[in-house]
Amino acid sequence: MGLNLSVARLGSVINNELSPRIAEAANVSTALWAGVLMCAFSGVSVLLVIAVDNRAKQQLPASARKAEDAVAQSIKLSDVKEFRMSFWLLALSAMVIYGCVVPFNSVASSLLIERDYFKTPPSECIRCGQGVYEGNTNCDAIDLDQCPSSPPFAWPLPMLSANCSIDIPTDQWACFVSASSSTLIDKTKINCDDSAWKNGPFTTIYCDKKAEAEARAATPMSIPYLISAIISPFLGLLVDRIGLRAFFLLLAPVTLVVAHTMLAASTLTPFVPLTLLGVAYSVYAAVLWPACPLVVEEHHIGTAYGVVTAAMVNTRDAASYFC
């Protein structure tokens, strides 16, 4: 179980590191297609596992195959009525924890960029043609004597009208305004995944700096999964040796609360709270899955795993949607 978790988490680390780089080198669609290819490879692997499993089953004695088929046929959805309260509490715990950790990873990039790697600069350094950059409408360089560097702060916003449509890069010339009294575009309208902005004459540097910030944010984003990939097998061994499953199941969410509070309410480097998050996530996973067989009958173990997984995945997806 621990090795399986390690491989799964390693895949998440690779995704966090490669996706921004593929998107920067090509575009977001290419990064998505790379993910599709990996999913296709995974599907082929599953088919191979099915073939191997069927072959192994055929090598079993006839009595063993018959007993296995009998157990499979006896599994019914109504089995869940026989599950004890301890199982449902475990399932509820899994829903809460995975509904917290996994959706966070979906928004972690944006959070870290705004918090640490592409922060809002001081008001006098926010926009070209204004404040420190008055008279400099293109902002081809940062005034480091009066403004912070980019990154970790955002590049000054361009002097582009908010009431102008930009469909191709050259449209920016028609949208350029020299008077700061006009309604100007804000950062939420600049889509650096679109070539009209990525290659635009007034937003190229802004988008390049943002891409650099996104690449920097990818490394700390990978910390929770990297920690899980490394320590999960050892945590599984530790739990098998010393027990204390209930204690660890309580310790993990408390640590998650501390980690998220540090991210939200402090200016501490993200490496510290994300390390705590990774440790908590790893401890919880190492305890959760081996604990399931302890709270259900042996012939209900498969159903129990299915119920926990379904509850966890649906909660995770619902939370990700609203995030």
3 state SS of 157: strand
pLDDT digits (tens, 9 = 90+) for 57-113: 777 777 666 666 555 555 566 777 888 898 898 888 888 888 888 788 778 888 899
Of residues 206 and 221, more confidently modeled: 206
Choose the CATH number for 2-117+219-322 among 1.20.120, 3.30.420, 1.20.1250, 2.10.260: 1.20.1250
Q: Which amino acid is at 313?
A: V
The pTM (predicted TM-score) of the whole model is 0.74
Residue 126 has pLDDT above 60, yes or no: yes
Q: Which two three-digit tokens encode residue 313?
A: 């995945």
| DSSP-assigned letters across all residues of 18-60 | HHHHHHHHS-HHHHHHHHHHHHHHHHHHHHHHHHHHHHHHHTS
- Each domain of the chain, given as residue ranges in start order, spans 2-117+219-322
Question: Please, what is the average pLDDT of the chain?
Answer: 84
* Residues 138-191 pLDDT 10s: 888 888 889 999 989 999 999 999 888 999 999 999 999 876 667 899 999 999
CB neighbours of 171 closer than 8 A, spacing ≥ 6?
A: 164, 165, 196, 200
